[in-house]
Every structure is written in structure tokens, then in C-alpha cells.
Copies of this chain bind each other. A is one copy, B any other.
Amino acid sequence: MDELLVPQANTVAHPPGRTRLEAMEQGPQGHRSWDEELRSRGYRVTPQRQLVLEAVARLNHATPEEIAACVQQTAKGVNISTIYRTLELLDSLGLVAHTHLNHGAPTYHLATEAAHVHLVCQNCGKIDEASQEEVAPLTKVLDDQHGFETNVAHLTVFGLCNDCRSKHSA
């Protein structure tokens, strides 16, 4: 892995300040840190995987390409196919989650974040979030009327954000 321009230790040095990733050290799946989660399932902990996880944590709602760009700022040799493979792995492990927004490119975010709903503005593309509680009335209706169990984490609502709404009426 000659191309990696980061320290060759088990874990890459963190930038100063507390990152979202560090906040994960206590782990999402109960209380395992992300690297223990990998190792305990027989996967290896690599700088690439850490960098991808950090990028997901830092960018929030980023596409694979955006994540690649972010990772490559630190380690420019990381290949895009590694990004895809890593995202798939982290997703299957429940460390990250993804949703399909507008275009078709999925966006990834940390699974530790509270389940939330994405509000995508179809005019400016801005992404807002709503809490799980706010959509409780919806999930209840769907349960009662259709016996449907909503996956809140995957819920995306399209429409017009506050700003674009005002401009529109103007």
C-alpha cells in the first residue's frame, strides 16, 4: 500500500478535536468500537476502511464519489473500487447506512446517527432532516391501515424547502 500517505500504524492519526467517528468508539452495536466490530467478524482493520468511515462521518449524506474525494485528500492512492467495496461492507455490518436521494447515486451516513428522515428539496437540492418522532403519525397510519412496518431510516421525502417555497411564491 505504497500510495497511502498516512501513518502505517493500525489506526490513522486523528486530526485534533473530537470527531464523529471518535464518538463512535463506544460503538453502535451495543458497545463495540467500529474496529472491534470488524475484527470480531473476521474482517481486517485497514487504513482504507478507517478513512472511509471517517469520511462518511465527516461528510454526512455523501455519495461514493464524494467520499472517494474526501478519502483521497488524505491518501490519494485509495482506489474508487475500494470505496465501493468498503461502503458495501460497512453497510452490511450496520456501521453505515445509505438512502437513495434524487439522482440515483446513494448517499451514506453513519448508522450511529439517530434514525431520521431526509427532506430533499427538489429545487435547490438541500437536505434537511426530521426526527423519528415527527413521522410517528405516518408510521402508525401505515401500520394500522396496511400492516406495513416502516423503515424510518430509509425514508426520504421530496418537496420544497422553506427557502425555495418563499422564492417560488415571489
Q: Which residues of A contact B (CB under 8 A)?
A: 100, 102, 104, 106, 119, 121-122, 128, 130, 134-135, 137-138, 141-142, 145-151, 154-162, 165
Question: Which residues of chain B are within 8 angstroms of A138 by Cβ–Cβ distance?
Answer: 135, 137-138, 157
- Considering only CB atoms, which chain B residue lies closest to A140 in the complex? B137
Question: Which residues of chain B are within 8 angstroms of A121 by Cβ–Cβ distance?
Answer: 148
Identical subunits present: 2
The reply to whether B104 and A130 form a contact with Cβ atoms under 8 Å apart is no
- Considering only CB atoms, which chain B residue lies closest to A122 in the complex? B151
A92 to chain B, nearest CB (A): 14
The reply to whether B134 and A157 form a contact with Cβ atoms under 8 Å apart is no
Q: How far is the CA of A20 from the CA of B6 in the complex (A)?
A: 61
Additional pairs, 20, CB under 8 Å, beyond known A130-B148, A142-B157, A148-B157: A100-B100, A100-B102, A119-B148, A121-B148, A122-B151, A128-B146, A130-B145, A130-B146, A135-B138, A138-B157, A146-B161, A148-B159, A148-B160, A149-B160, A150-B157, A150-B158, A151-B158, A151-B159, A154-B158, A154-B159
A161 to chain B, nearest CB (A): 6
The reply to whether B155 and A157 form a contact with Cβ atoms under 8 Å apart is yes
The contact of A119 among B100, B142, B159, by CB within 8 Å, is B142
